[in-house]
């Protein structure tokens, strides 16, 4: 063990309450940061789910000829405002119905494909264009009816859902950033205070070391190492508590949100996401500890010299 590591560990042992407060604040910061990061990820995923799923379904008349359907399909696929166009036949519509009613097979047995209309499903590149496109598609001779696929929470159109989600996501991001920033600043200040206190208690030692030829980096190293230890332990503790929470809560969350992929269902992706967050937090933690300790040590050394 290097003399700097030994000095840093001894300093932590000598002042356990300072160490506990630093680690506690840093753990809280990184626990909240992990939670916010996952919530931001989830809101982004939910938003993207609603934005990318087929938004408009144009139900076709039963007497629509295959030629007329192909002609309309070609027309729509050539339209730059439309994306993800898909033809759903009567048989496919029945399959979708069967899947949706899989918990009650009797319902599916009672119907035949003929009662389901064929349809053309598509999304729009910009939801603002939806109303215009709907009225254009409605005027097509083979189109019986046009509707939205989502009608969540009583919204009249999908644009309402998406716009509500966008607003919620924006507030979540802003709130999260503000909250995490406040906590990060608090952690930074706590580290600054603790390192300054450490420098004050080590004033005599620093003077002696300086007189026997210690370089500023020799004097700084154990103090910075101490701050780095606090931040690493803080990041790992906060992150571990957060991952335990999500591991515990994920079955209920996945069950509640169903098709909406708010958190990854695949364990590999789930852990990859958490490890990416950990890596970012380690960088952030190291930055906080390095900047905080360098400022505190710099100020104290100036006073001592």
Nearer to another protein, 194 or 242 (CB): 194
Q: How far is the CB of 16 from another protein (least distance, A)?
A: 15
Q: How far is the CB of 233 from another protein (least distance, A)?
A: 23
Chosen residue from 28, 150, 172, 209 binding another protein by CB under 8 A: 209
User: Counting contacts by CB under 8 A, is residue 16 touching another protein?
Assistant: no
Nearer to another protein, 218 or 256 (CB): 218
Nearer to another protein, 153 or 213 (CB): 213
Q: How far is the CB of 222 from another protein (least distance, A)?
A: 11
Q: Which stretch binds another protein (CB under 8 A): 65-73, 95-103, 212-220, 291-299?
A: 212-220
Of 113, 116, 125, residue with least CA distance to 82:
125
What is the footprint of another protein within residues 76-105 (CB under 8 A)? Answer: none
Q: How far is the CB of 227 from another protein (least distance, A)?
A: 19
Cβ-contact 30, 234 below 8 angstroms? yes
User: Counting contacts by CB under 8 A, is residue 153 touching another protein?
Assistant: no
CB atoms within 10 A of CB 231: 28
User: Counting contacts by CB under 8 A, is residue 212 touching another protein?
Assistant: yes
Q: Which residues contact 125 (CB under 8 A, 6 or more apart)?
A: 80, 81, 82, 83
Chosen residue from 208, 247, 249, 283 binding another protein by CB under 8 A: 208
What is the footprint of another protein within residues 213-252 (CB under 8 A)? Answer: 213-216, 218
Q: How far is the CB of 21 from another protein (least distance, A)?
A: 22
Q: Which residues contact 59 (CB under 8 A, 6 or more apart)?
A: 117, 118, 119, 143, 144, 145, 146, 147
Residue ranges in contact with another protein by CB under 8 A: 3, 10, 14, 205, 207-216, 218
């Amino acid at each position: 063990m290097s003399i700097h590591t030994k000095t840093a560990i001894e300093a932590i042992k000598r002042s356990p309450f300072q160490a506990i407060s630093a680690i506690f604040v840093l753990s809280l910061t990184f626990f909240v940061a992990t939670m916010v990061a996952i919530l931001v990820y989830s809101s982004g995923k939910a938003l993207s789910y609603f934005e990318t799923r087929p938004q408009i379904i144009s139900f076709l008349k039963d007497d629509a000829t295959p030629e007329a359907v192909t002609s309309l399909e070609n027309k729509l696929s050539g339209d730059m405002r439309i994306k993800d166009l898909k033809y759903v036949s009567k048989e496919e519509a029945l399959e979708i119905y069967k899947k949706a009613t899989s918990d009650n097979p009797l319902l599916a047995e009672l119907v035949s494909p003929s009662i389901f209309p064929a349809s053309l499903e598509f999304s729009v590149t910009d939801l603002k264009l939806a109303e215009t496109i709907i009225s254009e598609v409605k005027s097509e001779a083979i189109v019986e009816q046009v509707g939205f696929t989502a009608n969540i929470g009583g919204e009249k159109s999908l644009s309402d859902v998406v716009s509500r989600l966008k607003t919620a996501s924006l507030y979540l991001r802003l709130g999260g950033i503000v909250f995490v920033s406040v906590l990060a600043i608090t952690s930074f200040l706590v580290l600054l205070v603790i390192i300054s206190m450490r420098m004050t208690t080590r004033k005599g030692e620093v003077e002696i070391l300086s007189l026997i030829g210690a370089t500023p980096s020799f004097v700084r190293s154990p103090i910075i190492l101490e701050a780095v230890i606090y931040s690493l332990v803080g990041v790992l503790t906060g992150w571990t508590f957060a991952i335990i929470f999500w591991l515990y809560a994920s079955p209920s969350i996945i069950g509640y949100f169903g098709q909406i992929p708010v958190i990854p269902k695949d364990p590999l992706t789930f852990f990859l996401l958490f490890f990416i967050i950990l890596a970012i937090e380690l960088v952030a933690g190291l930055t906080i500890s390095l900047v905080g300790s360098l400022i505190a040590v710099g100020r104290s050394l100036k006073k001592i010299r």
